[in-house]
Amino acid sequence: MAETDAEAGTDPYREELALLIRQTRARLESLTRAGVAALPRSAARPPAVRPSPAAVAAASEPIVAVPPPTPSVERPRPASPPPPSPAPPRPAARPIVAPTMFGTAGFESPPLDPANRPGALAVLREEVAACMKCAELAASRTQTVLGDGNPAARLMFIGEAPGGDEDRLGVPFVGKAGQLLNDMITKGMGLRREDVYVANVLKCRPPGNRDPEPAEVANCIGYLDRQIEIVRPEFICLLGKIAAGTLLNTALSVGRLRGRWHRVHGVPTVVTYHPSYLLRAPAAKKEAWADLQLLMRAMGLAIPRKKG
């Protein structure tokens, strides 16, 4: 069994002390030979304080080197940009009621400035006046009938074709049916005739006021499409089965189409009876009035109260 230092009779502390004394003496002798006569005295040291167990435990924790703080360098501040110039005032837009219901109209081209719309319609009017696509209509007409009203109207009425009075005057809806339409616009809706825009599917009067032929509609519909795109109405009202069937591409009757919303070029559209039909069937005026109220509510127009 191995012996311990104590059991071997040696004292390691004494041997270490003796070694330290010998090294010190050798160092002093070396200094004496070098000519050093005396050593400077050091300042008195404070009595040694025995560290507490907590300090010993803290000293045993690993030391993490903390890099010295980086000296801050003052950088030149970038020049502040000049204040933005005030935006030009935007023109007040016409209110559209229930935009989430109707969405955006489906036109490919951007809208014309309202100031340029009369000129665009005048160019179209000259083109229609020179049209010879339908030989029978061109031979029998007095003049073509493009449209009438406000080129920037919110509401556009579209009928079937010019009659005798319209062919003579060159303005749509000026006969008895036109007088009833005026009453619907002014007395019913509280608007003026010049506030709306009125047009027909055909721009020439069919002989004998007959219904338009499919080929005649096909020849003329492009002019109406351009009218709608120039005026860019917010709402359209189709008057009668010819206008409704043509623009909605349907064979359904007016009675089946009225009372609900449709779309023409993305524009919210209602269908109602043609004024000439209302002259023959006055009982249908009640339904036509309900259709106008549907329009008025969407346009934000006040509906007059019933008298009595």
Full pLDDT tens readout for the chain, 308 residues: 443 443 344 465 566 677 667 767 766 665 566 565 655 554 444 444 444 544 444 444 443 444 444 444 444 555 555 555 555 544 443 333 333 344 455 787 899 999 999 999 999 999 999 999 999 999 999 999 999 999 999 999 999 999 999 999 999 999 999 999 999 999 999 999 999 999 999 999 999 999 999 999 999 999 999 999 999 999 999 999 999 999 999 999 999 999 999 999 999 999 999 999 999 999 999 999 999 999 999 999 999 887 65
Structure-token pair, residue 69: 């703080």
Q: Label the pairing between strands 267-272 and 235-239.
A: parallel
pLDDT at 207: 95
Q: CA-CA distance, 199 to 191, in Å (whole number)?
A: 17
Q: pTM (2 decimals)?
A: 0.67
Q: What is the DSSP letter of 171?
A: -
DSSP secondary-structure letter at 163?
Answer: -
